[in-house]
């Protein structure tokens, strides 16, 4: 590859990293796959069709692995379920997945409503709701309570503060360009990230040790994981446990907060959607009922279609494989560009229009719509995330009458840490309390 070609390839990678939705949507109508060269990872062959998505998502574990290095590794750690492969991934997933079964997670719906109520309690007519900030606060508080069972306010604030600082320290450049991760005599962006990660690990170790010493077993995820073993009778080591808990704190909170912000943006941008959501909310009273509302669920699904918070799904092949008719070799990295797949005009009617009704009419194929990935690596928290979003949105809208502060050009998605986020704060005005 010539110097000019290399520069062009790196420019494409930078565009994909900074504006993933804009970059990948340009390929929505492409039938042929396209390549992007990522620093440290190498060339990735992206697919945007159902055939490509099917072949990538159904790859057997023996023929692929998580591609490394991964931009999120500095935050979640190399033992994270997201980064493990093969037998190590299977064993870790067998320990971590059971606590996230949908029927168990529904026990936390009242807690989600409580966290939402607490965040908006002080708002009065005339105030402005900073949607992104509120969404981050709500979802982080939920994760801290659900995963760790932390009820002490001071301890929750500690976890929240350190987690927020860790995620903010992982800027796009630091995450995407490995050679920037240098400690300069204890200073610089990398040193800050490492310091916050160490602080969070200290809090995690304290929580684990306290739970073991006391013998207390609550109904939270940590309690379930401490009691669990894989099919060979092995429990997670402390190092692996910290990495998995850090993944839940970071990845689970970041993705849900982003989806919550986007959903509220679209609801209040379209009076028709807002009115239909409010009419449906008026028919129920409890958090458990909020999680069953079909139109609200469709709004959330449509939000995840338009704005998949993790925009790419990647696999590194460990053996030769044909993907959507393309012969690939061992070592190749193949991927799905979700922003392109989700607005592919051959798969969706009016793909760039926010239309929740499409999810009431039919259920899309998992190879047409994959906001949580798929196959044996599908996100273990998917069911909980959907319930969390429904309860948070429903609780907030049943308590506050909101209106957009401005209806100008909408924000776009940009890379921020674990997930993509709106490029600017979404602001809604409080008209009244209900």
Q: Strands 42-47 and 333-337, how do they pair?
A: parallel
For the segment 114-139, the average pLDDT, to the nearest whole number, is 96
pTM of the model: 0.93
- Per residue in 203-229, pLDDT (tens digit) is 999 998 888 887 766 678 888 898 888
Q: Does 64 show up as a binding residue in the annotation?
A: no
What is d(CA 226, CA 213) in angstroms, rounded to the nearest whole number? 12
pLDDT confidence of residue 341? 98
Checking 218-223 for CB contacts under 8 A at 24+ apart, the result is 218/149, 219/107, 219/149, 220/145, 220/146, 220/147, 220/148, 220/149, 221/99, 221/100, 221/146, 221/147, 221/148, 221/248, 222/147, 222/148, 222/149, 223/149
262, 301 contact by CB (below 8 A)? no
- Residue 36 phi, psi (nearest 5): -135, 135
Q: What angle (nearest 5°) sits at the alpha carbon of residue 314, between those of residues 325 and 71?
A: 150
171, 186 contact by CB (below 8 A)? no
100, 381 contact by CB (below 8 A)? yes
Q: State percent of the chain over pLDDT 70.
A: 92
The more confident residue out of 328 and 105 is: 328
**Rg of the chain (C-alpha set):** 21
pLDDT at 172 over 60: no
75, 167 contact by CB (below 8 A)? yes
If pLDDT is split at 50, 70 and 90, which confidence band does 323 have? Answer: very high
What is d(CA 17, CA 250) in angstroms, rounded to the nearest whole number? 19
Of 304, 313, 364, give the one whose Cα is nearest residue 336.
313
pLDDT confidence of residue 180? 55
End-to-end C-alpha distance for the chain, whole angstroms: 62
- Per residue in 2-47, pLDDT (tens digit) is 566 556 666 777 777 778 899 999 999 999 999 998 877 889 999 9
Domain range summary for the chain, segments of one domain joined by +: 3-433
- Residue 322 phi, psi (nearest 5): -95, 125
pLDDT confidence of residue 73? 85
pLDDT confidence of residue 9? 63
pLDDT at 188 over 80: no
For the segment 111-139, the average pLDDT, to the nearest whole number, is 96
Q: What is the CATH number of domain 3-433?
A: 1.10.630.10
Query: Cβ contacts of residue 337 below 8 Å, gap of 6+?
Result: 24, 27, 46, 47, 48, 311, 312
Q: How far is CA 25 from CA 146, 192, 306, 412, in A?
A: 35, 34, 10, 12
- Per residue in 270-284, pLDDT (tens digit) is 999 999 999 999 999
- Per residue in 128-162, pLDDT (tens digit) is 999 999 999 999 999 999 888 888 889 999 999 99
């Amino acid at each position: 590859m010539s110097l000019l070609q290399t520069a062009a390839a790196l420019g494409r990678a930078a565009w994909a990293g900074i504006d993933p939705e804009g970059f990948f949507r340009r390929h929505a109508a492409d039938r042929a796959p396209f390549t992007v060269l990522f620093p440290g990872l190498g060339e990735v062959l992206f697919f945007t069709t159902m055939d490509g998505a099917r072949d990538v998502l159904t790859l057997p574990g023996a023929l692929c692995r998580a591609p490394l290095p991964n931009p999120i590794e500095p935050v979640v750690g190399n033992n994270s379920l997201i980064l493990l492969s093969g037998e190590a991934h299977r064993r870790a997933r067998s320990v971590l997945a059971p606590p996230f079964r949908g029927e168990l997670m529904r026990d936390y719906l009242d807690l989600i409503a409580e966290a939402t109520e607490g965040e908006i309690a002080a708002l009065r007519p005339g105030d402005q709701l900073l949607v992104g900030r509120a969404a981050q606060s709500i979802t982080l508080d939920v994760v801290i309570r659900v995963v760790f069972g932390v009820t002490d306010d001071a301890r929750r604030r500690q976890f929240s503060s350190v987690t927020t600082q860790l995620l903010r320290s992982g800027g796009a450049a630091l995450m995407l360009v490995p050679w920037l991760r240098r400690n300069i005599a204890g200073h610089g962006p990398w040193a800050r990230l490492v310091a916050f990660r160490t602080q969070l690990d200290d809090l995690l170790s304290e929580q684990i040790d306290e739970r073991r010493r006391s013998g207390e077993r609550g109904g939270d995820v940590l309690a379930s994981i401490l009691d669990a073993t894989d099919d060979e009778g092995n429990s997670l080591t402390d190092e692996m446990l910290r990495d998995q808990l850090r993944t839940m704190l970071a990845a689970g909170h970041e993705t849900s907060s982003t989806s919550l912000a986007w959903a509220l943006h679209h609801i209040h941008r379209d009076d028709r959607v807002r009115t239909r959501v409010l009419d449906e909310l008026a028919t129920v009273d409890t958090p458990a009922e909020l999680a069953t509302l079909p139109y609200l669920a469709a709004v959330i699904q449509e939000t995840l279609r338009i704005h998949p918070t993790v925009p790419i799904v990647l696999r590194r092949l460990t053996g030769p494989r044909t993907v959507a008719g393309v012969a690939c070799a061992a070592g190749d990295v193949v991927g799905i560009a979700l922003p392109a797949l989700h607005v592919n005009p051959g798969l969706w009617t009016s793909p760039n229009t926010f239309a929740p009704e499409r999810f009431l009419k039919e259920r899309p194929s998992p190879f047409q719509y994959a906001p949580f990935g798929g196959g044996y690596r599908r996100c273990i928290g998917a069911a909980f995330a959907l319930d969390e979003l429904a309860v948070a949105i429903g609780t907030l809208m049943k308590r506050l009458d909101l209106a957009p502060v401005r209806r100008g050009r909408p924000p776009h998605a940009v890379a921020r840490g674990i997930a993509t986020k709106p490029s600017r704060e979404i602001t809604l005005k409080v008209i009244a309390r209900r």
